[in-house]
Each structure stands twice: as C-alpha cells, then as structure tokens.
Chains A and B, each alone.
Chain A
Amino acid sequence: MTVVIAGAAETDEVGKLPHHSTLQLHLEAARNALADAGMTIHDIDGVATVGTPGPVQIAHALGITPAWLDGTGVGGSSFLFHVRHAAAAVRAGLCRTVLITHGESGRSRVGAGRFGMGPDSLLGQFELPYGVVGPPTSFTITALRYMKETGLTHEQLAEVAVAQRRWANLNPRAMFRDLITVDDVFASRMVAYPFHLLECCLVTDGGGALIVTTEDRARRTPVYLLGSGESAEAPMISQMEDFTTSKGFRLSGEAAFTEAKIDHGDVDHLMVYDAFAHVPLYGLEDLGFVGRGEAGAFIAEGHTSPGGRLPLNTNGGGLSYTHTGMYGMFAIQESVRQLRGEAAAQVPGVEVSVVLGNGGMFASAATLVLANRLP
C-alpha cells in the first residue's frame, strides 16, 4: 500500500505573528493543508500533533472525532515521527487519512506552553546548575570537540550560515534574506563560543500541516513516502555517546534509506534540521553523504549552495527562513514544495528528497525519504 503526503501547507505568514495564538497557528495551518489537499475535515479520521495544545484539542477545535491519535512529542523532529507513524497506521487500517499539525508562537509566546524544568528533573539536577540557558548553550556544546577531532575551522562553521543565506536570499518568505559573508558572521554578537548570533537559529511564530493517506485517496498529485526511520539517543547532551556524531541521525537515516531502497546518488535535495550551524555538518556525515570530517569543506566549497550538486536547506533553514522552536514541520514542507516544483528557490528536476529531523539536543531523530515518482 503506497503512502503519500496528499496535502501540505504552512500558515499564511511565518515570522512575528503576535496576533496569532498557538492554537490559531495550528488551525490556520490545518485549514490551509486541507484546502491544498482538496479535502475537508470529514475526510480526516486521524490526528497527530505535539505539545500545546495537543491532538485532543486540535481534533476538537477542528470538529474532527478521531479514530487514531498520536501525540508523540520528542522535540522538533516530532512531525517526521508523526508522518512515519501515520504511514504505519493507514497501512494497518487503523485510520484512513491523518492530519498532522504544528503551530508554535515561539517568538510572541501567545497561548504557548511554559518553558522550564523543575530542579528535581534530570536537567534540573545535572545541567541547569551550570548556567545553561536553553539550546544555545547546550546544543552547541559538542562543536569544539567536533572541531578538535575533525579539524573543522571557525570559518567553515560560519560558511554553513553563509551558504544557507544564499537560499534564503531567493525566498521572499525568509525572515533574513540579505547575503552575508564569513566576516559578517564573525562580526555578529558572540552567543556561546564558538557560536555567533548568525550561527544560531531564528525564533519565530508559525505553523504547518500535512495530510498523510494512501495514494488512492489523494486528490492531487501526491508526494510519495518511500522510506522512514526513527531513533533516539540521550535525554541530556552531556550523555551523548560521541560528540562528533549523532547516533539518532545515523540510525534513522540508515533505516529510511534501506526501506526506500535508495543510495546517496539518488538524492536530489536534502533538508537537515539546522537549529545551529554545526547540525547540518553532522547531518551530512551521519547520513553518509560525505565522509567523517568532510562536511565543513563540502559546504564551504559551495556544493550545498544554489547551483551545487546537493542543494541543502533550500528554504534558508532555521538559520535564515524560520524556526518556531520545533522546526521539523518546515523542513518537510520545503521538501514537498521542491518535489512539487513549487519552491521559492526551486531546484530543477528534484525527484527524491531526504528530510532529517532533530529533536531536543541530538536527543531524537527521524528521517524521511520523499519522492514525486515511485521507483
């Protein structure tokens, strides 16, 4: 049974949306995705989403009585997990058509969940006492070890942001569009050495939604799910096995490539979750597109930039396009647009696109292999 993405859309706008609550962002994205699919709420019998407000409220707010729910909440990768779980559910006949929504008032914090972990939580006992201030001071902590082990330079780390800005420059919806240089990155404020502001993701408001079903139920040209994988590593970054490679990236990627029966030469387009500039480097290496320690030079040489042989993060990514907090939904949306030939910075002839999602700080990971044709 062939599983497809039969509808995909983001909120009308992404960026700074103080007049939208978290719930409104979910609902607007859901309505847009239904319209994109040529469907109504009556076609939907499965609902998946994460966090506030959760699948019960999303289903109820839309007027859907679900026969299947998934509230998997493992960070920004969750929506890739939802796609994988939805595929299994429709194949198993647990439901027919699943709506996956994301909405996050990450910047304006309207109707948003509270941050913070108690002093008796794992992080409260073993990380927060050391002055951690969210992801910029902990997700980043692997980079110096990676640099020492692989020889990655500060310039090459900055080049990740420079390369992605070239894509954002072509995308009118991107929050930051002006081209930048390595010197611009170095001149931006130091957030957490070795990371400057321009090597850290945006914080925005926005949402997106997907409709996953079987091919026979799709009402528009579908995007095929050829393969998927999921895994997890550690709940605290200090416990990550090896600071130079992500186990979740490796395992989810291997599973997705194996199921899809593709190899790297088949991939025309790649999205790698980029909360910080080092994450795409791990993604390129851990998915096997380049060898260990080669990703920095690969990006600096322009291979992932417009015109390069492996277009990467073509919406501008979390670094330049948008990053609500759980960015994975936007990575999937860009893959779908590229496969449909509808992207702002369209890459010619994309037939197979891979999306790698990160959750937490290298804590969870999922990979999707999407295509606009069956092999």
Chain B
Amino acid sequence: MFDTETEGARIELRALTKHYPGQPAPAVDNVDLDIPAGELVVFVGPSGCGKTTTMKMINRLVEPTSGEIRIGGKDVLSLQPDELRRHIGYAIQQVGLFPHLTIGQNIGLVPKLLGWPAARIAARVEELLSLVNLEPSLFHDRYPRQLSGGQQQRVGVARALAADPPVMLMDEPFGATDPITREHLQKEFVRLQKRLRKTIIFVTHDFEEAIKLGDRIVVLRERSHIAQYDTPAEILARPADDYVAGFVGQDATLKRLALLRVEDVAPAGPPQQAGLPQVAAGTSLREALDVMIAHGSDRCSSPSGVLTYTALCGAVGTGRPSSPGREPEAVPSLPAPEKVVAGGR
C-alpha cells in the first residue's frame, strides 16, 4: 500500500483540522507536522488537548474536516479507510483484545483480513509472541481473560505489529499497567523499536514516558497547537516557553542526565580504578550521580574511565558545580537533530 512496506514511512500532516459540528472551536486546529521515517514521535499534552484526535485522523477513525495527510507520499484521504487501517498498526490503552478469540486468533486477525495463507499467519503469530516475550506454546491457545494486564498489553502490541505495517499509532498502550510492569514494557519496547525502525506516533500525557521512548517529542497545547517539536534532550535543555517548561517540570537537569550514559561522557583515564564506586558503562548519568551521592564521592569509576562530578555537570552544560542553572549549552554527546518542520500555527 505504501512505498515502503515494512520499514517506516514518512508521515506528513498539512493544515490538518477537525471541527466537530456544534462546537465553538475546532478540536484540532490547522496542524502542520512532519514525522521522519523510522522515528518514534511522542505526542504529549494534557487530556483534552486533541492529541488522540490528531492521531486518529491518521488512520481515519476520525475523519478530518480539512487538511492533508500523507504517508510515504501517499494521500491517505484518497484511500479506502478499512484497507488503509489494515496497513497501519493500532494499539490503545484499553488494549481491546477480543475476549471470544484466542491470543493466536487475536494476533492473526489483520493478516487474516489481508488474506494471508493460514501457514504464513501461524508462523507470524509464533514469531510475534516470541518477539513480545510470551512463550508461544503457552499463550497461543489461551484467551484474553486468562492473561494479566501486562500480558494483554504485550499481545496488543503484537497484534498491532502483526501485518508488519510501516506505520504504527499507539495511544497510551502501557497506560493501564502498574508502574513496574509499565517500566518493563517501555524498556522492551525501546529495544524492539531499535530493531524494527517503524514510524510510530505514540500518544501519552506522561512526560517521563515521552522522554524515555521518543526520538522526538511534540508538546501540544489545547486544540493540538504545537508548543514545541524537538528531541527530548533539546526540549529539556531549551523549552520553547513557559508552557513547555511547566511540562518539563522542576528536575529538567536530572531528566537530561537520565538521557546520557556514562560511556558517552566518561573522560579518558585509567578504567576501573579501585577504591571508587563502580558503575557499568551503560549506566545513565542520573544513576551514576545517585551512586556518587550514596558513596559521598565526587567521582566514580566505569570500564570506560573515571567519571567526575565536574564532567557530569559539563555533560549537561552547567559548567562549574557552583553555578547551577539552565545554561544554553549544547549536549555534546547527542547528535544535533536534523531540522524538521514544526509548526502548528
């Protein structure tokens, strides 16, 4: 259907508007947005800001009042809606598994709609169950009501991936789980996306989740106006205005530390110095700082070198530890984001 069948496809929104009849103002007002192929872009904003409506216009569960949507260059509004939706993965917070079908049948549903032969569907279902860490022999013939909330969410993700769509829309897919399960699912999902490189629009009201998952974040205000569209590091370092800063919260610097890893900044030096607290190379700077504070030390040692408190502050551009505050320093270890169209109006 789209030019690229499985790898991500670019999504372009142009002057996209949804005005419900009888409402004084549009729910989504004139949104312009480009989502690069293979990136995970998080829509974050308060409830009622129109983020879900914006997302649902992309698979036309909500028909736009005006504007354009293109996926991989194709005009979405000219396609047959049911056929279009079979080529866009869709996962929602309530999961919405069909309780009368087995897990296998639930996952195989879209491939069946697409007319895949039974053998190919069966193989794909096995593959997907393994992919989301559910043992196929155990789960294939179970029913949704026999699964825990976290397991259901995994099946929901597997079902959205079933026909290997280039584009996925996810509306708080981990929202209904407890914090521990959610964090686990998020970590798994990040690993999965690194491999699959789908174009994903991920809607959440949880800014922490947006930072963890997003290649880029779109911060939305009411009527889906775009307050800022940038990488998590940039939004944390340079919030566009007070509204975005409010979303970022008070601990922006700590959040930025969480995005960086020890191996990204640890200066040259003898690795693994004895007598210092030890951290792994893949540890985040936030966790490394925690270790330093816990040991009352201003440095810790990792396989890639010794990390000092000064280097840690330098990494987030705060210079000397005696002058805290948000300084507009580039984050050295993250590549600068390519320019993307970000607007709204």
Q: Does A pair with B?
A: no
Interface positions of B (Cβ within 8 A of A): none
Interface positions of A (Cβ within 8 A of B): none
